[in-house]
Amino acid sequence: MVDLLIYLAAALTGLALLLALYRFVKGPSTADRVIAFDVLTIIGITAIALLALLEGRGIYLDVALVYALLSFLGVIVIARYLERGL
Amino acid sequence: MTKAVSLFAVFALLLLFWVLLNGSLATDVLLVGAIAALIIAVLFRRQLAVVTEFRGTPQAFLATARYLVYLLKELVKSNLRLAGIVLSPALPLNPGIVKTRTRLNSRMGRLLLANSITLTPGTLSVELDGEWLYIHWVTVESSDIDAATASIVAGFEQHLEVMYG
Amino acid sequence: MESLLAPLGGVLLVAGATFLLLGGLGLVRMPDIFNRIQAGAKATTLGTLLSLAGIACLQPAWAAKLLLIGLFILFTNPLSSHVLARAAHRGGAEKSPLTAVDRLAEDQRGDQA
């Protein structure tokens, strides 16, 4: 029962990833792509945490934490770059 | 807060972070964490405004708890409203950027205010200019400064005012 | 206790994933960059928090680390959305024709005049 719910959550998360990916590919502006990238990474963090749960490996959570840190910095840097005008 | 108290608060917070990260209270873990936390606390004691600008009175702690409860409540509310908008075929939008004003003076208070506004129903902080906040609103109810301030800013401001001033 | 925690975790996980999906849907359906950021910022924050809470219910030993990730996301996600929105506005991003008012653009024109 609970396993089923976990798989359902994983499927929904995967679908969310696809939708964000559509926006990432479609654009049309650079800012649209950056926000899509931001959403992709946040969903990715959930996906990594889900993977940790399914595989039973707590160490994956450290990956998720570092990924959260790096993606935040990445988005900030890209946004600053956009502000200066591309 | 006084210098010594805020230094200790930064140290304690960093150590807590370290213990949570490690998930263990073994002596060697604690020792390494304490040394690292002390070095960081001394080096960056002025930059960590989250702690140094915090009032530290009992009322401030109470306001923090109230603020967190209010924030989570608003976050859930905002998501349900957003879900309603996204799922309706007509996509009922009336977007616009309105101007609001805040009473908060501290940098940290304003930062948390802007952050909270982004998480509340249908609003997103776009630009901060001193006491003026420009906010993107999915369904603009009023473009008047005072009316917009009352419905967007006031709820968080009352808690943040006690916490940071 | 054990028997209650696991189903609760499962339900939280599905609820979180549903909000993530709604965020993705909002990202696709919304007409302009600001509305897309709105959908992206809110839905993913709550979606991730709920998912992490669900995992914490299923694996109580990981609760501390999940709490750290959750707090980090709660603070950084609105920040990056704000910075992006500012960059988009300064870059003169296209606004949906539905947009009723833009006080920021009005004030900026006022400053230049």
Interface of B with C (CB under 8 A): 17, 19-21, 23, 75-76, 78-79, 82-83, 85-87, 91, 93-99, 114-116, 118-119, 122-127, 134, 136, 138, 140, 143
Mean pLDDT computed over B37-48:
79
pLDDT at residue C30 in the model: 80
- Using DSSP's 3-state secondary structure scheme, residue A28 falls into coil
Cβ–Cβ of C42/B87 closer than 8 Å? Answer: no
| A77 near C CB under 8 A | no
Mean pLDDT is lowest, of A65-74, B151-160, C96-105, for C96-105
Cβ–Cβ of C100/B79 closer than 8 Å? Answer: no
pLDDT at residue B132 in the model: 80
ipTM for the predicted complex:
0.82
In order, the DSSP letters of chain C are -HHHHHHHHHHHHHHHHHHHHHHHHHHHH-SSHHHHHHHHHHHHHHHHHHHHHHHHHH-GGGHHHHHHHHHHHHHHHHHHHHHHHHHHHHTT----TT---BHHHHHHHHHH-
Spatial separation of the C-alpha atoms in residues A25 and A36, rounded to whole Å: 9
Please provide the size of chain B in residues.
165
pLDDT digits (tens, 9 = 90+) for B119-130: 887 788 888 877
Cβ–Cβ of B87/C22 closer than 8 Å? Answer: yes
pLDDT at residue C100 in the model: 64
Q: What confidence category does residue C64 fall into, taking pLDDT thresholds of 50, 70 and 90?
A: confident
Q: What confidence category does residue A35 fall into, taking pLDDT thresholds of 50, 70 and 90?
A: confident
Cβ–Cβ of A9/C10 closer than 8 Å? Answer: yes
- Give the global pTM: 0.83
- In this predicted structure, the answer to whether residue A70 has a pLDDT above a threshold of 80 is yes
Cβ–Cβ of C25/B127 closer than 8 Å? Answer: no
Provide the residue ranges of all domains of chain A, joining segments of one domain with +. 2-83
Residues of A in contact with C28 (CB under 8 A): 19, 22-23
Q: Which residue of C has its CA nearest to A66?
A: C69
Cβ–Cβ of C24/A65 closer than 8 Å? Answer: no
Cβ–Cβ of C35/B118 closer than 8 Å? Answer: no
Mean pLDDT computed over B98-107:
79
pLDDT digits (tens, 9 = 90+) for B129-162: 777 888 888 777 776 777 777 777 777 777 777 7
Most confidently modeled of B39-48, B133-142, C68-77, C94-103? C68-77
Most confidently modeled of B2-11, B23-32, B153-162, C62-71? C62-71
Mean pLDDT computed over B89-113:
79
Widest distance between CA atoms in chain B: 61
Are the C-beta atoms of B75 and B115 separated by less than 8 Å?
no
Mean pLDDT computed over C76-97:
80
pLDDT > 90 in chain A, percent: 0
- In this predicted structure, the answer to whether residue B96 has a pLDDT above a threshold of 70 is yes
pLDDT at residue B52 in the model: 66
Stretch (H or E) spanning B31: helix B27-43
Torsion sign, CA atoms B35, B41, B42, B44:
positive
Provide the residue ranges of all domains of chain B, joining segments of one domain with +. 3-52, 58-163
Within the 4-43 window of chain A, which residues sit less than 8 Å (CB to CB) from chain C? 4-6, 8-13, 15-20, 22-23, 29, 31-32, 34-36, 38-39, 42-43
Domain total of chain C:
1
Q: Among partner residues A12, A42, A61, which is closest to C73 by beta-carbon distance?
A: A42
- In this predicted structure, the answer to whether residue C113 has a pLDDT above a threshold of 50 is no
Q: Among partner residues C20, C58, C72, which is closest to A46 by beta-carbon distance?
A: C20
